[in-house]
Structure 1
């Protein structure tokens, strides 16, 4: 084997050992978004005999421009489930380092009504 081939094999092995590509650290407000997701589902559906659950992770799905000023907000997505229904919830946080300031939220059922 040539030195160049050995170096290439070593580089591939090192990258494979580093873990999956795109593994990111969670957003600083991810736990807050999951907590708000449980509250939002309970608010919309009240006390119910149906089983309710929420994913324990929130993923950053993008940013949106603030309605006033030049700032942007982070949009975190959490999935929730009630009986056979699946709900996508977005939580919109101000980009303030060290703070989780919730600026808005939305909930949509992921079914096809047509």
Structure 2
């Protein structure tokens, strides 16, 4: 019985049980995310004139500010396209819509 309790405790800690559910990001910075996506993809692909950005913006789970873990950043995901290329972009914003970080990944099967 003692080992069963220990096993339950360990599995709870490993899986994050007992922690508050992740907060979803706000769409307050949607327009900023679309503008930043256009700039990011243009920079990444040398201002290719075939760039299009999907208007759909998906809010993801908030992340902690690494410099102050009491602060949370919104993470918004957008998709961009160039000819046959597809790019996932995640943009990180502070509560006042200041762009704090960005990530771009070409969506491809190699």
- For normalisation by structure 1, the TM-score amounts to 0.68
Give the secondary-structure state (helix, strand or coil) at the position aligned to 1:62: coil
Which residue matches 2:4?
none
Structure 1: segments with no counterpart, 5+ residues: 1-25
Is 2:29–2:97's contact at 8 Å kept on the other side of the alignment?
yes
Which residue matches 2:16?
none
1:88 Cα deviation from its structure 2 partner: 0.3
Which residue matches 1:19?
none
Is 1:31–1:57's contact at 8 Å kept on the other side of the alignment?
no
Structure 2: segments with no counterpart, 5+ residues: 1-25
Is 2:48–2:82's contact at 8 Å kept on the other side of the alignment?
no
1:1-114 to structure 2, matched below 5 A, reads 27-48=27-48, 51-69=50-68, 70-94=70-94, 96=95, 99-113=96-110
CA distance, structure 2, for counterparts of residue 82 and residue 66 of structure 1: 32
CA distance, structure 2, for counterparts of residue 55 and residue 30 of structure 1: 12
Is 1:77–1:88's contact at 8 Å kept on the other side of the alignment?
yes
CA distance, structure 2, for counterparts of residue 52 and residue 79 of structure 1: 11
Which of these two proteins has the greater Rg computed from alpha carbons? 1
